[in-house]
Amino acid sequence: MTFPEASKGSYLLLLHLDAPSRLTIGRLGTFDFPAGWLVYTGSALGSGGLRGRLKHHLAPVKKPHWHVDYLRQAAVCREVWYAVGDVSFEHDWASTLLQLPDASIPVARFGASDCRCPAHLVAFPAKPQIAAFNALAEFKVQDWVVP
């Protein structure tokens, strides 16, 4: 699998959960997740950039590290939206996701234990559309469909 960018940047993982699931998310706790689409926002500003971070997020989970790793044990990543840059957009994008129709926070503080965002994971009953997201986002994304 080859991701198109080795640069630093920010990303959104579009994960699909086929059925409602009760999952334990590390020390955050055990939660009920709705079936549907879950969008996680993160950044990759380290030396591995987007390619390194997404290689981790798209590989089978061996030892969960981040909140999203626990979720990925049940949900499948179907698409990635991303933008290249040396500045993190993940906080702005988490806020933008919540402005989309039918958005909800399935777990407070998910992926946001090191910031003041309500969560970096947003749930949707249907797949959110990139055009609707980009219409609201200050920093636009492009998409990459997971092979």
Is residue 3 situated within a structural domain?
Answer: no
pLDDT at 31: 95
What is the pLDDT averaged over residues 15-19?
96
Is residue 2 situated within a structural domain?
Answer: no
Q: Which residues contact 67 (CB under 8 A, 6 or more apart)?
A: 25, 26, 28, 110, 111, 113, 121
Specify the amino acid at residue 130.
I
Q: Which residues contact 116 (CB under 8 A, 6 or more apart)?
A: none
In 3D space, the residue among 136, 110, 116 whose CA is nearest the CA of residue 38 turns out to be: 110
- pLDDT tens-digit profile of 53-83? 888 888 888 888 889 999 999 999 999 999 9
pLDDT at 4: 54
Domains in the chain: how many in total? 1
Is residue 81 situated within a structural domain?
Answer: yes
123 strand-pairing partners: 38, 104
Domain housing 92: 9-145
Is residue 76 situated within a structural domain?
Answer: yes
For the chain, what's the residue count? 147
Is residue 85 situated within a structural domain?
Answer: yes
Is residue 103 situated within a structural domain?
Answer: yes
Is residue 94 situated within a structural domain?
Answer: yes
